[in-house]
Structure 1
Amino acid sequence: MGILGLTAPQVAAADQPVLSVSAKADKNTKAIAAAQPRSVARAATVCGTGYKLYKAEQLPDSRRFGTLFVYVKGDNPASNDAPTCAILDNNLGSAKWMKITLCSNYTADGCASDSGVFSQYAGPVYRARGGCGTVAALMKNSTSDSVYIIDRKTDSTNCN
């Protein structure tokens, strides 16, 4: 009991991560954000200010060796001109060889990649005009290993 005879809450509001999820995020992304608020907030902090979660995908499946996070700035993530950030979060608890590649829909803008042996995450990688582009996530146990435990390429944002 506190001084005023009130029981203190178990978790203060200030201890809760602040999530910024795009209104255009799909239901799977919103479910991951609700289930993993600290991971989502931490990845957003790595991308920088103003980015909102647009896509979260457990990879390779529900076993969740890693989580792909795509963040966008602005209210129209489907725009070719949406600034985009991507991170591949390592959920295995030990260092793995990882690579994250984010490509713009504009051929002249090319791709940005980050690769190496990481215990926490690969990235962030940015494209100033990353909307409607692609993102690829790779993970294997070591640099010399030929078998990928994550090998995923997908659209960075939906563009219909």
Structure 2
Amino acid sequence: MLKLIKIINPNNEEGKIVLIVRMGAKSIKDLFPPLLRKIKKSNLNITWSCDPMHANTEKAKSGYKTRNFKNILSEVKSFFQIHKSEGTFAGGIHLEMTGQNVTECIGGLQKISDKDLASRYHTHCDPRLNASQSIELAFLIASYLKTIK
């Protein structure tokens, strides 16, 4: 990967390369730190982003493709905590969400369960956080970031 980054960004310009981490809540703590350390040691300018959606996709008992709110939050928290521990900068996160009142991701304050998925499952591709879950997640992330300053 280092060789490819140097080819794409031979002058090591800031903001030119964004690496999107999508490892899942269960794997990020083991897989991300060694990768981050390797890039940091090489002194390459990388913007790091976290996609906590894709590696946390699962098939519900009902057969619907879904994502668990707590796993999404867990991966984001781990992403920021790892950056803090390593003295590096977390550049952002990628979320898939909608302003609609869908039931595609389980969990959150609405306590959407596997049984609720069918009631308003409208996605044509991947499950999205609904408006309530999106706002809840934003507040939980902001609150968490205050604790790890």
Q: Tell me the TM-score normalised to structure 1 length.
A: 0.25
Larger helix share, 1 or 2:
2
Name the structure where strand makes up a greater proportion of residues: 1
Higher relative contact order (CA 8 A, sep 6+): 2
Tell me the TM-score normalized by structure 2.
Answer: 0.27
